[in-house]
Structure 1
Amino acid sequence: MSVLVVASATPEGRAALAEGAAEARRRGTALLWLDVGAEPAGDVAPLLDGTPARHVARDPNQDPTDAVLDAVAAEDVEVLVVGTRRRSPLGKFVLGSMAQKLILDAPVPVLTVKVPAGADGRTGS
């Protein structure tokens, strides 16, 4: 069994990595992470707090949500960790929400992680 983190270079993706590492330690299980961002997550070691982790590669031509769901099935994942952020109703309508799709479609529990207030450099809610 393992914990899979949906990672990216965004504040949400980095918060998910940190929380995913803590969740893997709590469960005493493996930590996996899959980078879905337009720009690579970069050096994730500081976020993992010493937790061993394995990067799961994805086909860059595959839809990121489908890649995550495929990894959940292939890697014996027991919980999926996803960073979230508040979006306007228009933003949800136009862009959709990867986190929402994963919450609805993942066959395992999904832990959503919010960036602490002010930690993302944005203002408002």
Structure 2
Amino acid sequence: MTVLVGYVNNPAGHAALDAGIAQAKKDGKELVVVNASRSAQRSDSYRLGEGELKSVNNYLSRADVEFRVLTLGSEYDPAEQILDTATEVGAELIVLGTRKRTPVGKFLLGSTIQKVILDAEARVLCVKAAH
């Protein structure tokens, strides 16, 4: 079984990564970090660049936890990519970072977190970044 973290390079993503590391260490589980985004053919601000990916791998190497980092890209929305990966790796916990969004923002942009919470077979932990 594994702990899966949905990761983007922002304060909420960093909070999720730290919470995922702590949980994986506590339970002696593998950590799978998923950077889900739209297809690589499109511009997606959430897709990790080469330097960001190297930084995440270095950070995880220092955390002394067994890990994999997956950079996914497909026509499916990121929530579906996270859910599919959680099923594939047998995740028993999904960790996501949250940020404040207005009700209109949630309506217009959709909510990856909401979809994961509602559709996940695994437990879901949502964490906020420290202010």
Superposed displacement of residue 57, structure 1: 4.1
TM-score by length of 1: 0.85
1:21 corresponds to: 21
Residues of 2 paired with 1:10 and 1:36: CA distance? 14
1:115 corresponds to 2:115 = no
Residues of 1 paired with 2:22 and 2:69: CA distance? 17
Report if the CA contact (8 A) 2:6-2:36 is conserved. yes
Aligned length in residues = 117
Residues of 1 paired with 2:102 and 2:73: CA distance? 30
Q: Which has the higher strand share?
A: 2
Identity of aligned residues (%): 38
2:59 corresponds to: 46
1:82 corresponds to: 96
- Output aligned runs, 1:61-100, within 5 Å: 61-100=75-114
- Give the letter aligned to residue 36 of structure 1: A
Superposed displacement of residue 69, structure 1: 0.7
2:43 corresponds to: none
- Give the letter aligned to residue 29 of structure 2: T
Residues of 2 paired with 1:13 and 1:22: CA distance? 14
Structure 2 residue runs of 5 or longer lacking an equivalent are 38-45
Residues of 1 paired with 2:48 and 2:74: CA distance? 11
Residues of 2 paired with 1:57 and 1:3: CA distance? 16
Structure 1 residue runs of 4 or more that deviate by more than 4 Å after TM superposition: none
Residues of 2 paired with 1:12 and 1:23: CA distance? 17
Superposed displacement of residue 87, structure 1: 0.8
Structure 1 residue runs of 5 or longer lacking an equivalent are 118-125
Superposed displacement of residue 59, structure 1: 3.2
TM-score by length of 2: 0.81
Q: Which of 21-30 and 43-52 deviates more?
A: 43-52
Q: Which has the higher helix share?
A: 2
